[in-house]
A and B are shown apart, each in its own frame.
Chain A
Amino acid sequence: MVKVRHLKKIFYTGKGARTAVNGLDFDVRKGEFFALLGPNGAGKTTTISILSTILKPTEGTVSIDSLDVTQEPHRVRQKIGVIFQDPSLDDRLSAIENMDFHGRLYGMSSLQRKERIQFMLSTVDLWERRHDLVRTYSGGMRRRLEIARGLMHFPELLILDEPTIGLDPATRRTIWEYVHFARKEWGMTILLTTHYLEEAESADRLAIMNEGRFVALDTPENLKKQVGPEIVTLESDPDKIELIKSFLCEQFGIKEFRDERIGSFSFPLPADIGNAIHVVQKITVPIQAMTIRSPDLDDVFIQITGKGVSSSSEAASPFHRVYRGKL
């Protein structure tokens, strides 16, 4: 469905050149759910903008359903639905007018528009408010309307750029229900960028992006396996933490430690060491608590990109917040 080869995008500004995307190669199969994960400034939105024909690549080729995005942008546009990171509704029009405008631009007949608008607006629970101007809508309602609009013309590829950023959990859940429903309905392919690790969890494959490149690309399960079978968290006297760490390093060769709260740290247990209990029993310093859990994507991300995620990204990014809280 999507074929990306040697994709590069360089922005030339007054201050010089900035490489936003630096050599991407990947394919997305028809019907696949593919996620792009990475901190702000990693180049996710730039990649998506090239795929959705808004930006031209500096180098490399992108084709969607065998159509080149720079050669045949119109035919590509007909096949894709895009849900942007920032709102893109006309707030002086009503929901029904926004939908009708969209349907007309995508060449739907008036009967088709009528049926489709009613179906989509009912699906996202906006049918009762269909004649109200969008400016009177809440943030969640606007987002739902954008999803309904993006799915209206039966796109073969749905591109979602941070679709649920700033939304409450309930709205996030409903949005995903609609998207998965559409995926089943006509075998839609999904390309998602997100900050929320648990959203990437349900993807078929996921790429971790940092500074314009893919640093990992695999299924979520395989990526998690790379980290190790288990993550062990230990709690002890804050003064003794360093002592425990050096003991673990000497005895078992464990080097990757992650500080949690004061007096607590965690480490991925290497696969060849065996049971975590045996490891901990050898520690002579008293341990107050121990937790063992399977690794999640958070751990994958930390292992791949290093602790600070990326020093180039702004500290205010939600991604940072997600795990600054754990540091």
Chain B
Amino acid sequence: MKTEVAYRGSTNITFSSPLLRDLRAIYTLWFRDIIRLWRDKLRLIGAFVQPLLFLFILGGGLKGRVLTAGNTHMNYQSFIFPGILAMSILFTASFAGIAVVWDREVGFLKEVLVAPLSRTAIVIGKVLGGSTNSLIQATILMGLTPVFGMHLSFWKVLMALGIMMMIAVSQTAMGIALSVRMSSSQGFMVLLNFIILPLYFLSGAMFPINGLPNWLSVLAHLDPVTYGVDLLRGVFLGLHYFSYPEDLIGVCLFGAVMSFLAIRLFNQESPS
């Protein structure tokens, strides 16, 4: 059954400026990620399981047995809550890289690579898509704060969102930088676990980083995720190890380096 169409469309496509075209392309790439996220609701739900296990089982088990930065009156679950938020972002955002590997596996990436948009626009679109995804999940998790007796003001929520956005962007960019030249999603998962788990464990998400053995303390200082977790904990609980400017520099530097790397590597993968 063919539908009769009289009009075949004008063969003229008006060319917009390269910048405008890239901006439209970024929106298009982002929008595709949102459609896919919405369609894959199981993934949305599944992503909550891990943070909740950490928060309620690990947090519940260690509650009252771990000293939290000398604040004996502080609930361990409240202490790790910002760390759990960071974890949720860390995992979902890095896995945006898997989406790129997956696109390469099923061939869809080629469709994007031959389209008239810059490689940089592709990276930005994917970073925004991945960050939005992880930010949505972290925002829903943030709804749990009253359970732990935390009451956040509107401004604090706004600040937390800003910080989480920055962490999400850096992590997605990292995932995309790593995805370059990776052609199997299984291999990529293994690589990610090798990188994400140490980043997470060393970040002070589960324990305070003051008074650590020297070697561990050095590693924690080197871990870029530490600064994001510290910043989040400062906003939520007023408890932080570094000063805010130090934290901000750490977070921004990591984001900038990762974004630069992702764009650079992606441009190298195939000519722009």
Binding site for B on A (CB under 8 A): 52-56, 70, 73-75, 77-78, 80, 82, 84, 86-93, 97, 101-102, 104-109, 112, 115-116, 118-119, 122-123, 125, 127-128, 149, 153-154, 185-186
Residues of B within 8 Å of A73, CB to CB, are: 271-272
> Given known contacts A92-B39, A186-B11, is B118 in contact with A53 (CB within 8 Å)?
no
Residues of B within 8 Å of A86, CB to CB, are: 107, 110
Q: How large is the interface on B (under 10, 10 to 19, 20 to 34, 35 or more residues)?
A: 35 or more
**14 sample A-B contacts, Cβ–Cβ < 8 Å, listed by A number:** A53-B114, A74-B117, A77-B114, A77-B115, A78-B116, A88-B111, A89-B106, A92-B40, A93-B36, A105-B116, A112-B13, A115-B8, A119-B8, A186-B11
A106 to B11, CA, bound (A): 13
> Given known contacts A78-B15, A122-B3, is B114 in contact with A115 (CB within 8 Å)?
no
A55 to B113, CA, bound (A): 10
B73 within 8 A of partner (CB): no
B28 within 8 A of partner (CB): yes
Check if A53 sits within 8 Å of B271, measured CB to CB: yes
B65 within 8 A of partner (CB): no
Residues of B within 8 Å of A149, CB to CB, are: 111
Query: Nearest-CB distance from A145 to chain B (Å)?
Result: 12
Check if A90 sits within 8 Å of B5, measured CB to CB: no
> Given known contacts A92-B39, A154-B11, is B3 in contact with A127 (CB within 8 Å)?
yes
Closest-by-CB residue of A relative to B40 is A92
- Could you say which of A105, A122, A154 contacts B117, with CB atoms under 8 Å apart? A105
A102 to B112, CA, bound (A): 8
Check if B110 sits within 8 Å of A108, measured CB to CB: no
- Could you say which of A54, A105, A109 contacts B110, with CB atoms under 8 Å apart? A54
A102 to B117, CA, bound (A): 12
B24 within 8 A of partner (CB): yes
A65 to B110, CA, bound (A): 22
- Could you say which of B9, B21, B116 contacts A115, with CB atoms under 8 Å apart? B9
Check if B107 sits within 8 Å of A93, measured CB to CB: no
> Given known contacts A54-B110, A109-B14, is B28 in contact with A101 (CB within 8 Å)?
yes
Residues of B within 8 Å of A127, CB to CB, are: 2-3
B71 within 8 A of partner (CB): no
A105 to B111, CA, bound (A): 10
Closest-by-CB residue of A relative to B107 is A88
Residues of A within 8 Å of B32, CB to CB, are: 90, 93, 97, 101
Residues of B within 8 Å of A101, CB to CB, are: 28, 32
Q: How many A-B residue pairs have CB under 8 A?
A: 117
Closest-by-CB residue of B relative to A116 is B9
Residues of B within 8 Å of A78, CB to CB, are: 13, 15, 116
Residues of A within 8 Å of B14, CB to CB, are: 107, 109
Residues of B within 8 Å of A80, CB to CB, are: 114
A97 to B151, CA, bound (A): 42
B60 within 8 A of partner (CB): no
Those 10 A-B pairs whose CB atoms lie nearest each other, nearest first = A88-B107, A105-B115, A77-B116, A104-B28, A78-B116, A154-B11, A122-B3, A88-B111, A56-B271, A115-B9
Closest-by-CB residue of B relative to A104 is B28
Interface residues of B in 1-57 (CB under 8 A from A): 1-5, 7-11, 13-16, 18, 21, 24-25, 27-28, 32, 35-36, 39-40
A227 to B120, CA, bound (A): 52
Check if A107 sits within 8 Å of B9, measured CB to CB: no
Check if B18 sits within 8 Å of A74, measured CB to CB: yes
Binding site for A on B (CB under 8 A): 1-5, 7-11, 13-16, 18, 21, 24-25, 27-28, 32, 35-36, 39-40, 103, 106-118, 270-272
Query: Nearest-CB distance from B3 to chain A (Å)?
Result: 4
Residues of B within 8 Å of A185, CB to CB, are: 8, 11
Closest-by-CB residue of B relative to A50 is B271
Check if A90 sits within 8 Å of B3, measured CB to CB: no
Check if A88 sits within 8 Å of B108, measured CB to CB: yes
Query: Nearest-CB distance from B199 to chain A (Å)?
Result: 29
A123 to B8, CA, bound (A): 11
Check if B107 sits within 8 Å of A75, measured CB to CB: no
- Could you say which of A55, A102, A154 contacts B111, with CB atoms under 8 Å apart? A102
Residues of B within 8 Å of A74, CB to CB, are: 18, 21, 116-118
Check if A91 sits within 8 Å of B106, measured CB to CB: yes
Closest-by-CB residue of B relative to A79 is B116
Check if B13 sits within 8 Å of A92, measured CB to CB: no
Query: Nearest-CB distance from B214 to chain A (Å)?
Result: 40
Q: Which of B14, B107, B270 has the most CB of A within 10 A?
A: B107
Check if A106 sits within 8 Å of B40, measured CB to CB: no
A80 to B110, CA, bound (A): 13
12 other A-B residue contacts (CB within 8 Å) besides A90-B32, A93-B35, A107-B116: A54-B270, A55-B270, A74-B116, A78-B15, A82-B110, A86-B107, A92-B39, A97-B35, A102-B111, A104-B27, A105-B115, A107-B21
- Could you say which of A82, A87, A93 contacts B114, with CB atoms under 8 Å apart? A82
Closest-by-CB residue of B relative to A185 is B8
Query: Nearest-CB distance from B243 to chain A (Å)?
Result: 45
Closest-by-CB residue of A relative to B3 is A122
Query: Nearest-CB distance from B181 to chain A (Å)?
Result: 13
Check if A108 sits within 8 Å of B25, measured CB to CB: no
A149 to B114, CA, bound (A): 13
> Given known contacts A107-B16, A122-B2, is B7 in contact with A52 (CB within 8 Å)?
no
Closest-by-CB residue of B relative to A109 is B14
> Given known contacts A93-B36, A104-B25, A107-B21, is B107 in contact with A70 (CB within 8 Å)?
no
Residues of A within 8 Å of B110, CB to CB, are: 54, 82, 84, 86, 88
